[in-house]
């Protein structure tokens, strides 16, 4: 059986793992789906990095990741804010660019908004260009 959202998440995770391995960072996979991160990266010096993986397509030249999660149960749909203290890096895979963008969640407010294409009015002031977030 296919689950479209889960398939996207799996593709994003695979792309992030491949990118991190190319950067010399080893990967550990948590056993629980209920942790606030998806992967643990291990640097050569032994430092650990808790990584939240997101798969996002671009909309109007922008990739956006809100710091909230949703789930549903018998009482309806619930939304809760993500606790940034439990995540070191948000790794965003964008299939439109086939790139992984690395963001420190503490540098953002309630949402990460990265521009992958120039704006129609060519505004650059205050714009966060995605290509500036290719380095971990």
Q: What's the whole-number mean pLDDT along residues 66-79?
A: 88
The string of pLDDT tens digits covering residues 80-122 is 899 999 999 999 999 999 999 999 999 999 999 999 998 888 8
Residue 1 has pLDDT above 70, yes or no: no
Secondary structure element (H or E) that encloses residue 7, with its range: helix 4-22
Domain boundaries, the chain: 4-133
Tell me the mean pLDDT in the region 123-127. 88
What is the model's pLDDT at position 135?
95
CATH number, domain 4-133, options 3.40.50.150, 3.40.1350.10, 3.40.50.300, 3.90.180.10:
3.40.1350.10
How far is the C-alpha of 75 from the C-alpha of 4, rounded, in Å? 24
Examine the pLDDT at 3 and tell me if it is beyond 80.
no
Q: Whole-model pTM?
A: 0.91
Rounded Cα gap, residues 12 and 131, in angstroms: 18
């Amino acid at each position: 059986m296919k689950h479209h959202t889960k398939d996207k998440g799996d593709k994003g995770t695979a792309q992030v793992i491949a990118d991190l391995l190319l950067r010399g960072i080893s990967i550990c996979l948590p056993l629980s789906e209920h942790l606030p991160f998806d992967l643990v990266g291990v640097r050569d010096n032994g430092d650990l990095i808790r990584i939240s993986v997101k798969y996002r397509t671009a909309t109007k030249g922008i990739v956006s990741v809100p710091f909230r999660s949703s789930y549903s149960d018998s009482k309806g749909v619930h939304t809760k804010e993500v606790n940034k203290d439990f995540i070191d890096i948000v790794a965003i895979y964008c299939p439109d660019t086939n790139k992984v963008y690395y963001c420190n969640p503490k540098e953002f407010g309630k949402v990460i908004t990265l521009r992958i294409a120039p704006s129609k009015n060519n505004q650059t002031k205050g714009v966060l260009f995605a290509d500036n977030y290719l380095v971990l």
